[in-house]
Structure 1
Amino acid sequence: MSDSAQPGAQSRAIAARVLNAVLHRGRSLKAELAVALPALADPRDRALVEAICFAVLRQPLRYEAALTAWMPRPLSSRDGELRALLYTGLAQLDPLQLAAHAALDATVEAARLLGHPHQAALVNALLRRAQREGLPVTDPRHSHWPSWLRGMLRKDWPEHYDAILANSGTPPPMWLRVNRARVAREDYLAGLTLAGIEASAPAAPADALRLDAPLPVAALPGFADGEVSVQDVSAQRVADALAPAPGARVLDACAAPGGKSAHLLERDPGLRLTALDIDVARLHKVRATLQRAGFDAAAGERIELRAADAADLGAWWDGTPFDAVLLDAPCSATGIVRRQPDVVLHRRESDIAALSLLQARLLDALWRTVAPGGVLLYATCSILRQENDAQVRAFVQRTADARVEPLDASYGHDCEVGRQRLPGEDGGDGFFYARLRRTG
């Protein structure tokens, strides 16, 4: 792209290319951003590209409805990049509320950068109409979630269906986890106040802080030194739900990227932790996460990182049982759509059955590693009962020495064999927790 282009046009062009790859070629937003963002030297430009992409992918049908209403002839399937650029322009006006003049000029210039000079006038006309009239009003229930998935949601959560779709389409707050091994939450909150950063501390969980205005991690005091991490409040509750005894031997069976392992160690630096992940590259992220938090897995005998399939016990387990096992199981990720809005674009109905089989396989295998009297916490970031309470109910029915232990109402809706938090409740992600005690 030309260095002489309109300032900001490159960012809009990159956003359009990312969105085209995600919306029309089935690519992952995370993977596309990882490739695209390094081309932008200014962190403000990188933040803008991310903001545009997330805004579009949270409500793509809203922008499609505007084009349908305003264009006499619909764009063809070959015009995916142009459609994505138009979405980019509309998102800048609403909901991002950027200065209209700059947004319009840069987006029109981006059309030329992308090789669509003849459509520049069309882009200009449509965005000016959006500026004058605003986007057409659409039913928030008109969701980009596939119909089969909406059907599962309506069946599982009929009273909460509309709220789930609405909350999954809105930006979440930024949640921080204060590293209590390095600084008290009250002291870190005071430091944020001194830095001019507004934050609040909920009653629970004990290490959480909420920022309604997200910031780059580099702007967070002490982030590089491990004083604080970014982790959703629902994920932070995992440490409380597992509640291992001081100095316990603990397994984090699907550990990447390492936030929950780090949280457990921050709570109890004397913990003996084994962290597994099937992906070697992802295990490197676990190591980096622990090192930033102040725990050197390479030097300490109490921390072991292993790349292995957690269900293949012969590949990694020495037969010594664990006092506590965390199974944060692979799942549909339907509880974190507001953070990963492209999840529902790529999900297929057959995925749920395949994931359910994998979850059952992991549960059955890992139960053998739990010491008599020990606990296993089954957790997912799903809101589908097939992956959550139905999965745990079936496990308990086939496992004679498994007993469900109750969790209090702070963990969400009572599912009898666990608790379910839905997206947006108390500002958190959708998350399921079930605590199982081995009685034999």
Structure 2
Amino acid sequence: MSRTKGRYQQNLRADAARVLFQILEQGMSARECLPNAQQDHNEKDKAWLQEMTYGVLRQLPLLQHWLRLLLDKPLKKNVKIVEHLIMLGFYQLAFSRVSTHAAVSECVNACAPLNAVATKGLVNAVLRNFIRQEMANELPDNEQILSGQPKWLYKKLLTAYPEKHTPILEAMQVKAPIWLRVNQNQKSTDEYCRLLDENDIIYERQDEQPQGLILSKGCDITTLPGYDEGWFAVQDGAAQLAANLLNSQPNERILDCCAAPGGKTCHILELEPKIASCVAMDIDLSRLQRIEENLTRLGHQASLICGDASEPKAWWNGEQFDRILLDAPCSATGIIRRHPDIKWLRKSSDIDTLVALQAKIIDAIWPLLKPGGTMLYATCSILPAENQLQISAFLERTTDAALDPEFNNDAIDKPGRQILPGEKNMDGFYYARLLKS
């Protein structure tokens, strides 16, 4: 790059502040804005940008607490972005190994590319006060702030899990591991493990996911053996349970409803190559293209349909399915450790809207299932309203639906299986297997 080192570093801080501003002030997802910020940087600094951005999002309530103590009044709109730059500085000083001098000087220098040169003195003073007062060691006596969660979500988890909320909150703050799923059509799990051994890549295995591996440290996925050849996919252990629980059989017709980005579709095809057909449906055309990309890389074929799951008459040809995987739209509260922007993009009022949409979809999709067929309802949520309560309500109003007696790990008033964040190194997930009489 032609930039000098100083210019390059100051832009790095400025880019991080811009990403935080876009997420927290403009409601953009990290998936939308982070890649744009990363494109002008090398691999090391791309990783730094994600690490710092996600770090601030994880610790935001505490960083905001410190900001309120050290900033006399909120900054005006035209320089509001500087508040995010200051919080980035706090995060570096309190949670990273960067030197205090670098954290302060580079944040001060970043004011210029943010069109906020006049705030240089303010940024310098606030960060030096933070260091002088040793505020990194002064933590408030407030569990919600220390949990890193917004107030609305903290209260919901406290209500839903009065005896488990502390370990749940702790697990939601831990950086998620990288899970791989070995493509059985290309390599057995044992064969792929030998390849990793030969390349000195350390991993773990879990009994419940026979195709799964957990990498012991992060890496560039594209450099792993067989990436281009489609020997594996990246998929969390909880999501890997879906295809196993669906348990497709030869000559069956399968529907993967709300299928993007296609990880579960591919896994279904890997576990039972002799199914009659697999239809992957999603409402978003761009996300449908991601399914196609994943199918192509892994060497699979499925029928793709762009449609609204709550309005199947617009896309369904009338032929019923033997098994349906319904991965319902949800709050994604179970994967916050992997995508910490989620908790700041969601609002408490969103939950009622999602619950109503889930109910509409499951009622609309149920007629597409053959008598004697199986539907697997799934979410990446840990909120009972989207999971156990949703399924209980569905069973009450649907006379030909019943829980599969072989799959109901919780009590009868809490149907299905709720996986909590961090359980066996997995994300938070919910499954309920339903049978049609």
**Normalising by the residue count of structure 2, what TM-score does the alignment of the two structures yield?**
0.91
Mark the CA change 1:128 to 1:174 in structure 2 (over 3 Å): closer, same or farther: farther
Residues 201 and 19 of structure 1: is their aligned pair in 2 closer, same or farther, counting only changes over 3 Å?
Answer: same
Determine if contact 2:379/2:429 at 8 Å carries over to the other structure. yes
Match of 2:330 in 1: 331
Q: Is the 8 A contact 1:331 1:387 kept in 2?
A: yes
Closer, same or farther in 2 for the Cα pair 1:130/1:213, shift >3 Å? farther
Q: Structure 1 residues 220 and 102 mapped into 2: Cα distance closer, same or farther (>3 Å)?
A: farther
- Equivalent position of 2:272 in the other structure: 268
Question: For 2:95 and 2:189, how far apart are their aligned partners in 1?
Answer: 33
After TM superposition, list the pairs within 5 Å mapping 1:101-116 onto structure 2.
102-116=102-116
Counterpart in the other structure of 1:22? 23
> 1:373 maps to which residue?
372
Once the two structures are overlaid, the 10-residue window that deviates more, 286-295 or 61-70, is 61-70
2:199 to 195, 201, 221: 195
Secondary structure of the corresponding residue to residue 141 of structure 1 = helix
CA gap of 1:94–1:408, structure 2 versus 1, over 3 A, is farther
Q: In the alignment, which residue of structure 2 is the partner of 1:291?
A: 296
Aligned to 2:178: 174
AA matched with 1:430: G
Q: Equivalent residue for 2:46?
A: 46
Q: Distance in 2 between matches of 1:413 and 1:58?
A: 33
Deviation at 1:206, TM superposition (A): 0.9
Counterpart-to-counterpart distance in 1, 2:196 and 2:90: 34
1:82–1:44 distance in 2 versus 1, CA, 3 Å: same
> For residues 93 and 225 of structure 1, what CA distance do their matches in structure 2 show?
43
Query: 1: distance between equivalents of 2:228 and 2:410?
Result: 33
Correspondence 1:359 to 2:361: no
The question of whether the paired residues in 2 share the 8 Å contact of 1:200 and 1:209 is answered with yes
Q: Which runs of 5+ in 1 are unaligned?
A: 298-302
Does 2:241 correspond to 1:237? yes
Matched letter for residue 47 of structure 1: A
What SS is found at the alignment partner of 1:320?
Answer: coil
Q: How does 1:157-172 map to 2 (within 5 A)?
A: 157-172=161-176
Contact conserved, 2:334 with 2:421, CA < 8 A, in 1? yes
Shift of 1:248: 2.2
Instruction: Give yes or no for contact 1:6–1:106 (8 Å, CA) kept in 2.
Output: no
CA distance in 1, matches of 2:38, 2:240: 29
Deviation readout 1:96-118 (Å, 9 max, x if unpaired)? 32455544443332223223334
When residues 224 and 90 of structure 1 are mapped into structure 2, their CA distance, relative to the original with a 3 A threshold, is farther
| Secondary structure in structure 2 of the residue aligned to 1:209 | strand
- What is the CA deviation profile of residues 36-57 of structure 1, one whole-angstrom value per residue up to 9, with x for unaligned ones? 22232x1221111111111110
Provide, for residues 359-387 of structure 1, a one-character-per-residue CA deviation record: whole Å limited to 9, x for no partner. 11111121111112110000001111111
Tell me the distance in 2 between the aligned counterparts of 1:406 and 1:150: 33
| Superposition map of 1:8-407 within 5 A | 8-40=9-41, 42-71=42-71, 73-78=72-77, 79-98=79-98, 100=100, 102-124=102-124, 126-127=126-127, 133=134, 135=136, 136-138=138-140, 139-142=142-145, 143=147, 145-271=149-275, 272-295=277-300, 297=301, 303-406=302-405
Superposition RMSD in Å? 2.4
- Asked if the contact 1:375/1:436 (under 8 Å) is kept, the reply is yes
Conservation of the 8 A alpha-carbon contact between 1:55 and 1:96 = no
2 CA distance for matches of 1:399 and 1:185?
41
Distance 2:264 2:403 in 1: 22
Q: Answer yes or no: is the 8 Å Cα contact 1:412–1:421 preserved in 2.
A: no
CA contact (8 A) 1:15 1:52 kept: yes
Native 8 Å contact 2:248 2:272 kept in 1: no
- Structure 2 distance, partners of 1:191, 1:97, is 34
Deviates more, 1:162-171 or 1:383-392: 162-171
Give distance in 1, aligned partners of 2:205 and 2:166.
29
- Matches of 1:413 and 1:101 in 2, distance apart? 56
Separation in structure 1 between the aligned mates of residue 249 and residue 28 of structure 2, nearest angstrom: 43
SS at match of 1:8: helix
Using the TM superposition, give the Cα deviation of residue 212 of structure 1 relative to its aligned residue in structure 2, in angstroms: 3.6
Contact 1:412–1:422 (Cα < 8 Å) also in 2? no
> Counterpart of 1:113 in 2: which secondary structure?
coil
Distance 1:21 1:357, change over 3 A: same
The Cα of 1:311 is off from its aligned counterpart by 2.7
Query: What is the TM-score of this pair, normalised by structure 1?
Result: 0.90
Give the distance between the partners of 2:163 and 2:27, measured in 1 at CA.
32
**CA contact under 8 A between 1:323 and 1:374: conserved in structure 2?**
yes
CA contact (8 A) 1:24 1:80 kept: no
Distance change >3 Å, CA 354–CA 68, structure 1 → 2:
closer
Work out whether residues 406 and 418 of structure 1, in 8 Å CA contact, stay in contact via their aligned partners in 2.
Answer: no
The aligned amino acid for 1:253 is C
What amino acid sits opposite 2:14 in the alignment? A
Query: Whole-Å Cα distance in 1 between the matches of residues 338 and 315 of structure 2?
Result: 33
CA deviation map 1:22-47 (0-9, x unaligned): 1222222221113322232x122111
1:166 Cα deviation from its structure 2 partner = 2.2
Equivalent pairs: percent with the same residue? 38
CA 1:376–1:93 in 2, change beyond 3 Å: closer, same or farther?
Answer: same
Task: Show structure 2 runs of 5+ residues with no match.
Answer: none
Aligned counterparts of 1:98 and 1:203: Cα–Cα separation in 2: 39
Aligned-pair CA distance for 1:338: 1.3
Q: 1:424 aligns with which of 410, 419, 422?
A: 422
Distance 1:277 1:122, change over 3 A: same
Deviations 1:182-226 (A, max 9, x none): 112222223223323221111121111112422222232212221
Amino acid at match of 1:402: A
Contact 2:322–2:369 at 8 Å: present in 1 too?
Answer: yes
Displacement after TM superposition at 1:243 (Å)? 1.1
Instruction: Report SS of the residue matched to 2:433.
Output: strand
How far apart are the structure 2 equivalents of 1:306 and 1:89?
46
